Amino acid sequence: MTMHRAPRCLMIGLMACLTATEPGAAATPPWLRDLFPSTYRPLPREDTLIVHATILDGVGHRIEDGALLMRDGRIAAVGPHLADAKAHMIDARGRWITPGLIDIHSHDGTYVVPITATDEDASDVSELSDPNAADSWIETAINPQDPAFARALAHGVTTLQVLPGSSPIFGGRSVVLHPIPATTMQAMKVPGAPWGMKMACGENPKSEDAEKRRGPTSREGEIAFIRAAFAKADRYRQAWGRYLAGQGTQPDDDARLDTLAAVLDGRIAVHMHCYRADEMAVMLDLSRALGFRIAAFHHAVEGYKIAPLLARAHVCAAVWSDWWGYKMEALDGIRENAAFIDAAGGCAMMHSDSPFLGQWLNIEAGKAAAAGRRAGLDLPPEHVIGWLTANPARALGQETRIGTLEPGKDADAVIWSAEPFSVYAHADMVFIDGAVAFDRADPHRRPRTDFELGRTPPEAP
Amino acid sequence: MIRAARIAALAILAALPPWAQARAADGPVPVIAIVHALAMPVATPPVADATILIAGGHVRSVTTHGPVPPGARRIDARGRIVTPGLFSAATQLGLVEVSGARDTDDRTVSRGPLGPAFDVQYALNGHSSLLPLARADGLAWAMSYPGGTQLAPFAGQGALIHLRPSGDILAHAGAAMVAAMGDIALAPAGGSRAAQWVLLRAALAEARQPPSAHDPASGRILAPVDRVALAPVIAGTMPLLIVANRESDIRQAIRLTRETAIRVVVLGGAEAWRAAADLAAAHVPIILDPEADLLQTFDSLGARLDNAALLAKAGVEIAFSVPGNGIYLSYDAGLDLREGAGIAVANGLPYAAALRAITAAPAAIWGVRGAGTLVSGAGADLVLWDGDPLEPASSPALMFIDGHELSLSTRQSALRDRYAPARPDAPPRDTALPPAYR
């Protein structure tokens, strides 16, 4: 960008500047244009002081008889003794407070319940026309009326990343949402949260391609496909670089290469579906060779076998507590997976991958931590809560905004009826940006989707 | 020399896989006394500071602070909970190893003529790697049911399995005749649930008539082998397990049992709470998923977490089967059965009813006498827990089947031990060699 052109950009407006077709007018390459900007606004809120709770702050502290002050949608203070005469006060004696849970791997809004034959014929979870669907943005498929959003919210989830499925090798861009009631995706979209890009290795893409008789049919073919795609994207990126430096003509804008170029630029991190340890090790080497960053391996059922390697690479692992065995690459799943990844100094996270588990992330972490404790590891609740909060915030690149109850962060918090990893615990109240998004005791703060309206009774008979 | 040989023999025993160890331990066992237990016999109220006597593969007594016979092996429970071995009312354990690898999956017959005659007893694999894990999570009994056939609406016959470590798990073949109704099995019926019910009723009517060589209508639906398979259903000795979630199908199941002598059990029952009073009146038990509250399909729009609580309150016999995306049904059949029971308690079901739904209730539904309770004379399948058994974070500390203490080792625990991070208090491990040498 040259100095004399900058004012002109500002004069014609930011969007026009970013999408300019005039040679040399564009200030930035096209791959970070947000075509569907967030219109999210926090729900109506008041400053709130919650007192007499056991607080797990997500940073590693446990505060007995603690208080949490939320002011203007931010965490104002956390501590043993707080006061604010003007704030609405909630007595949470005997109850627990944690940061809002973050589900790093959801398909809500695209795997929409109730599932019907329509989904079997053509699902929105993955775009299947090509093994490279990097040009698909999952946000363009989100159905806000999926009842699974409200179920996730009712069980403590305040932020979730919806990822494309694992049938294509390049699944496309992810989106980060608040699971709040809305009529548009844009109204759920977390402002400023970066996209991720879904990639997949192993059985899923190759079996999809073998079935469709197109694309790679083997693990080695998948790797070759990835190399070729990134090589092409790199040429595209360089062509844009030359153009933006005032040399050469403007390249054609290619939505598929845009996403991959943003990945090579380090502006979009990869969320990599992989099961086996050997496959993850190959992907780590490949990411270094080609210059892309893996934020997290997803599923990673053999993550425990290479826990130190994952920790050294600063790559998180999103895992289940006990899913194993249902396919060949899942045979070696063990319940200590998260705990062993954690013990090596790595970044362990629990994920749902399904609307079913999206409601029980707290129990998932409880099961995984219990297995780790039985294996001799010290895993107190104040540490384990990080698997559902601080660690996924980091993998989303949102660690400065969410994931802990530190002053200045978004006031996303949950009041639990009991120790949050217990099967008996309920999310009593869920706050997003300081607003009550769910209240188990108040029917007017328990969202019901349009789909449920007139179909299912809200209360017991 | 003798000493060395004895040590070598012990070393060999220790190196045997868990099932082989248990087999080696078969044979006469001494009387066992578990003392200072919080016993939950299920059939009777909990007993604090209980002494539980086990002999000859059976529970002898559960008494408060009871005496320990001389020579008995004494186990101090230190106040921890002892329950019967758990019973899953419906799983597919023993029928599938890797569900994604179809040559290891015997649950469903997708070609060929068999309908009601399809019988999973012949496919049971007592050495499936899924079984030791289910046992290590407290499971002693299960009904393993088939996935489907091409003769709608029949899925075939389920079998009762007793998770004996010897691998001899078949306890009773022909435990249930399974018929799948509603959206999960429309295709074989031609696309309509109306056809499913007509086909079911027509097949039952046909099985009721003696075969006639002269009647051209005879044998229209059923092959002779299927007619034979349905005979015990007609006679009321084999329950008909109807898989159904929508209220209309559940009411059809009630109607069927009222009009015939057929014993009907419903599996699924997402909307069963809507027919709770009629289910109770018709004595139709419901095997339900206490974790189901998503509107998974149009058949389950009424799914709710207090389904179990509402049914129990109405007097319906309930038992649990926790499918958990299809994975928990078999791969974690013990752990997640308990989790489901815990979730039912969190949503209003009394604790005793939840424990009964994973012990005595399925035993009663499937007619297994002496399973699922700790009453005197019951089979000595029992678990000493390290915490609350309905918390999935808890685990068995000791488990007995037929009075034999089991190894709780599994393939997973072997992987765990192989890859566990080095503990500061552990002797140094040779890290120069790959884990496969450990």
pLDDT at A19: 42
pLDDT at B210: 72
Residue B120 falls inside a structural domain: yes
pLDDT greater at residue B25 or residue A338 = A338
Helix extents (H) in A108-185 = 117-121, 147-154
Clarify whether residues B150 and B274 are in a common domain. Answer: yes
Residue A457 has pLDDT above 60, yes or no: yes
Q: Do A331 and B342 touch (CB under 8 A)?
A: no
For chain B, positions 203-232, list CB contacts with chain A under 8 A. none
Clarify whether residues B66 and B100 are in a common domain. Answer: no
Clarify whether residues B21 and B94 are in a common domain. Answer: no
Residue B294 makes CB contacts below 8 A (sequence gap 6+) with: A113, A147, A148, A151, A355, A356, A359, B300, B303
pLDDT at B211: 66
pLDDT greater at residue A63 or residue B325 = A63
pLDDT at A260: 98
Out of B101, B294, B300, whose CB is closest to A355?
A: B294
pLDDT at B18: 38
Contact A68, A406 (CB under 8 A): no
Clarify whether residues B119 and B149 are in a common domain. Answer: yes
Q: How many structural domains compose chain B?
A: 2
Q: Do A113 and B420 touch (CB under 8 A)?
A: no
Residue A90 has pLDDT above 60, yes or no: yes
CA A116, B339, A364 angle in degrees (round to 5)? 75
Which among B298, B299, B419, B429 is the top mutation candidate for probing chain A, defined by the most A β-carbons within 10 Å of its own β-carbon? B419
Domain boundary among B337, B371, B405: B371
Q: Domain with B114 in it: what CATH number?
A: 3.20.20.140
Which residue positions in chain B have pLDDT lower than 50?
Answer: 1-25
Query: How far, in Å, CA of B280 to CA of B80, rounded?
Result: 35
pLDDT at B432: 77
Clarify whether residues B16 and B165 are in a common domain. Answer: no
Nearest to B413 by CA among B163, B128, B129, B165: B129
Query: How far, in Å, CA of A356 to CA of B291, rounded?
Result: 8
Clarify whether residues B121 and B239 are in a common domain. Answer: yes
Query: How far, in Å, CA of B203 to CA of B182, rounded?
Result: 17
Residue A399 has pLDDT above 80, yes or no: yes
Q: How many CB atoms lie within 10 A of CB A408?
A: 9
Residue B260 falls inside a structural domain: yes
Residue A84 has pLDDT above 70, yes or no: yes
pLDDT at B266: 98
Clarify whether residues B288 and B309 are in a common domain. Answer: yes
Nearest to B340 by CA among B162, B143, B86: B86
Out of A114, A325, A328, whose CB is closest to B331?
A: A325
pLDDT at B437: 87
Q: Do A113 and B295 touch (CB under 8 A)?
A: yes
Question: Cα-flanking dihedrals φ and ψ of residue B51, to 5°?
Answer: -105, 120
Residue B382 falls inside a structural domain: no
Nearest to A347 by CA among A399, A306, A390: A390
Q: How many CB atoms lie within 10 A of CB A15?
A: 11
Supply the DSSP string of B266-302, one letter for each residue. EEE-TTGGGGHHHHHHTT--EEE-TT--S--SGGGTT
- Give B349-390 pLDDT, tens digit per residue: 999 999 999 999 999 999 999 999 999 999 999 999 999 999
Closest residue in A to B332 (Cα) is A322
Clarify whether residues B141 and B152 are in a common domain. Answer: yes
A255-264 vs A219-244: helix axis angle to the nearest 10?
Answer: 90
Q: Do A115 and B297 touch (CB under 8 A)?
A: yes
Clarify whether residues B115 and B71 are in a common domain. Answer: no
Question: Quick check: helix, strand or coil at residue B356?
Answer: helix
Out of A151, A328, A340, whose CB is closest to B421?
A: A340
Residue B207 falls inside a structural domain: yes
Round the average pLDDT of chain A to a whole number and report it. Answer: 93
Residues in A closer than 8 angstroms to B298, CB to CB, are 114, 116
Q: What is the mean pLDDT of residues A392-419?
A: 98
Name the residue range of residue B403's domain: 2-83+392-417
Closest residue in B to A367 (Cα) is B393
Joined together, the tokens standing for residue A458 give 């809200």
Residue A4 has pLDDT above 70, yes or no: no
Question: Quick check: helix, strand or coil at residue B377?
Answer: coil
Give residue limits of the domains in chain A. Answer: 3-32, 101-400
pLDDT at B422: 81
Query: How far, in Å, CA of A4 to CA of A6, rounded?
Result: 6
Residue B356 falls inside a structural domain: yes
Beta strands in A305-402 (DSSP E): 316-319, 348-350
pLDDT at B209: 86
Joined together, the tokens standing for residue B129 give 């790697």
Clarify whether residues B157 and B228 are in a common domain. Answer: yes
Does B13 touch chain A if contact means CB atoms closer than 8 Å? no
Question: What count of CB pairs under 8 Å joins A to B?
Answer: 136
pLDDT at B220: 81
- Give A427-439 pLDDT, tens digit per residue: 999 999 999 999 9
Interface pTM (ipTM) of the complex? Answer: 0.93
Q: Which residues of A282-298 are buried (b: 16+ CB within 10 A; e: fewer)?
A: bbbebbeebebbbbbbb
DSSP conformational letter for A189:
B
Clarify whether residues B102 and B246 are in a common domain. Answer: yes
Top-level class of domain A101-400: alpha beta
**CA of A50 to nearest chain B CA: how many angstroms apart?**
24
- Give A215-240 pLDDT, tens digit per residue: 999 999 999 999 999 999 999 999 99
Amino acid (one-letter) located at A362: N
Which among A334, A378, A384 is the top mutation candidate for probing chain B, defined by the most B β-carbons within 10 Å of its own β-carbon? A334
Express as a percent the part of chain A with pLDDT over 70.
Answer: 93
Model confidence pTM above 0.95: no
Clarify whether residues B92 and B77 are in a common domain. Answer: no
Query: How far, in Å, CA of B301 to CA of B322, rounded?
Result: 18
Residue A18 makes CB contacts below 8 A (sequence gap 6+) with: A26, A27, A28, A30, A33
Q: Domain with B78 in it: what CATH number?
A: 2.30.40.10
Query: How far, in Å, CA of B185 to CA of B170, rounded?
Result: 27
